[in-house]
Amino acid sequence: MGKVAVGATVVCAAAVCAAAVFIVRRRMQSSGKWARVIEILRVLEEDCATPIAKLKQVADAMTVEMHAGLASEGGSKLKMLISYVDNLPSGEEHGFFYALDLGGTNFRVMRVLLGGKQGRVVKQEFEEVSIPPHLMTGGSDELFNFIAEALAKFVATEGEDFHLPAGRQRELGFTFSFPVRQTSLSSGTLIKWTKGFSIEDTVGADVVGELVKAMERVGLDMNVTALVNDTVGTLAGGRYYNSDVVAAVILGTGTNAAYVERAHAIPKWHGLLPKSGEMVINMEWGNFRSSHLPLTEYDHSLDFESLNPGEQILEKIISGMYLGEILRRVLLKMAEEAAFFGDTIPQKLRIPFIIRTPHMSAMHSDTSPDLKVVGSKLKDILEVSTTSLKMRKVVISICNIIATRGARLSAAGIYGILKKIGKDVPKEGETQKSVIAMDGGLFEHYTQFSECMEISLKELLGDEASESVEVIHSNDGSGVGAALLAASHSQYLEDSETS
């Protein structure tokens, strides 16, 4: 998606919400149980409100936390992790490189042939492999052996296009989307497993070391050049195609941001300043919290009942994992207190996370006169056989309120990053754009969310500054991005520069 043009006539859902709720109010009886439905809707709308003044407070708080996180370890809710990536791809990279993307119950192996500025990504091939459940809770050697064997099989299928010069090792970028304490560009210790993995002997170990030992056991000669987070990979992929990319934001099941910081602005960095003068920072912004965040009773109960209470507060109100669940909680309250679905509460409505964000997006996007999609989704998911048009309108109003809050807070976070790096106001005589590379299913597939986010960012920046800020979709950073970082940090880089 490109930048929203100046004078865009699209109105962000924030302004539409009040109108939508007003229409619902007018058409409903103002007494009894329906009045309670309207009251629940009104309180939700008030509690989720994101006027521009509040968004600026959130952005300022984000900037303050960024400074604190860069100053010292543990100084902020934002981890502001040093990625050790100081050399983002330029587009000049040549040769072929591998990537391994491990972030869930599947992993991908990929090879990419790069042809410099003219050829760019000449060819790419990949294979996706499912991890057997018993390996997710077994031993470290067993898991990494399985991965190394799959990688070795994939290497064995190299075609003639992928020709390795004599005397060179294959090089790999390793995307590992679990919490890691990075110790260098190509090493990092696992802090904890998430996403259903529980392998005790990997915790505290260097995950690159584990992979290298497994590759040695299967006789695979490959150098792991870079260990990267998927958000840093998205930044690399964005920069490869567009040299003006300054930050990357993932809005998917979870959310995170990474950006390019001036190395001398990182007090906690005690090493030599990199030649480039820059360092990519992995913010882990999902853990941001502030008294300025508009939280509801539904957010508080969701957080309290979660596996990580008090953590990842921003993620719990803006990411795809949680938006549908917030909708479910509001509908459950309406069912319990206002008989929204009739005298009996649908049993399915009591199941946490039964309403997924793609369901919510489909309902929110329904423009049919009778809101047929909303009706069919409620029937399929909650087994509610009949719903009136006014009920369906209430559901759309709830979707609108929840998605608007998430989109506008996402925009506030991006605005906070732009403020931190001095790109929030236009500089006289400066023509360079500041580009934000976005990825993730929420951004890509939930149109109302992404459009509202872009309009809100424009509103925060103002017409003049927003002319120099652009939002683009940068697809598959976790795969191609890792291969590109292997290329831009290749052990043979100096050879190719001098030859």
- pLDDT at 181 (0 to 100): 86
Question: How large is the average pLDDT for residues 50-73?
Answer: 97
- pLDDT at 167 (0 to 100): 81
- Report which of residues 97 and 6 the model is more confident about: 97
Token pair, residue 51, equals: 């006027």
- pLDDT at 260 (0 to 100): 97
Q: For residue 125, give the H/E element and its range.
A: strand 121-130
The rounded mean pLDDT for the chain is 89
The model's confidence at residue 128, banded by pLDDT at 50, 70 and 90, is very high
61 to each of 233, 265, 288, 415, how far by Cα in Å?
A: 26, 18, 9, 11
Q: Give the model confidence (pLDDT) of 409-426 as tens digits.
A: 999 999 999 999 999 988
- pLDDT at 163 (0 to 100): 76
Q: 117, 192, 195, 268: which is the annotated catalytic residue?
A: 195
User: Is residue 105 within 8 Å of residue 195, measured between CB atoms?
Assistant: yes
| Catalytic annotation present for 195 | yes
Q: Give the model confidence (pLDDT) of 2-50 as tens digits.
A: 433 322 223 464 444 444 444 445 444 445 899 999 999 999 999 999 9
Q: Give the model confidence (pLDDT) of 447-483 as tens digits.
A: 999 999 999 999 999 999 999 999 999 876 677 899 9
Beta strand segments in 145-293, E: 170-176, 180-184, 187-190, 222-228, 245-251, 255-262, 278-282
Question: How large is the average pLDDT for residues 354-374?
Answer: 97
Task: Return d(Cα 98, Cα 197) in angstroms, integer.
Answer: 24
Give the CATH H-level superfamily of domain 84-228: ATPase, nucleotide binding domain (3.30.420.40)
- pLDDT at 197 (0 to 100): 87
- CB 292: neighbour CB atoms within 10 A? 17
495 pLDDT higher than 80? no
Q: Give the model confidence (pLDDT) of 142-186 as tens digits.
A: 999 999 999 999 999 988 877 787 788 999 999 998 888 889 999
| Catalytic annotation present for 230 | yes
User: Is residue 453 within 8 Å of residue 499, measured between CB atoms?
Assistant: no
- Report which of residues 240 and 13 the model is more confident about: 240
- pLDDT at 418 (0 to 100): 97
Most confident range, picked from 303-317, 402-416, 418-432: 402-416
Q: Give the model confidence (pLDDT) of 276-294 as tens digits.
A: 999 999 999 999 999 999 9
User: Is residue 40 within 8 Å of residue 25, measured between CB atoms?
Assistant: no
Interstrand relation of 255-262 and 187-190 (parallel, antiparallel or unpaired)? unpaired
- Global pTM reads 0.88
Residue (of 420, 319, 482) closest to 78 by Cα position: 420
**Amino acid (one-letter) located at 377:** K
1 pLDDT higher than 50? no
359 pLDDT higher than 70? yes
- pLDDT at 272 (0 to 100): 85
- pLDDT at 476 (0 to 100): 67
3-state secondary structure of 141: helix
Fold of 50-77+243-473: Hexokinase; domain 1 (3.40.367)
Question: How large is the average pLDDT for residues 258-272?
Answer: 93
Question: How large is the average pLDDT for residues 89-109?
Answer: 89
Most confident range, picked from 18-22, 134-138, 296-300, 422-426: 296-300
- pLDDT at 4 (0 to 100): 33
Question: How large is the average pLDDT for residues 310-330?
Answer: 96
User: Is residue 266 within 8 Å of residue 273, measured between CB atoms?
Assistant: no
- pLDDT at 498 (0 to 100): 35
131 pLDDT higher than 50? yes
Q: 180 pairs with which residues across the strands?
A: 190
Q: Where are the domains of the chain?
A: 50-77+243-473, 84-228
64 pLDDT higher than 90? yes
Q: Give the model confidence (pLDDT) of 73-86 as tens digits.
A: 989 999 999 999 99
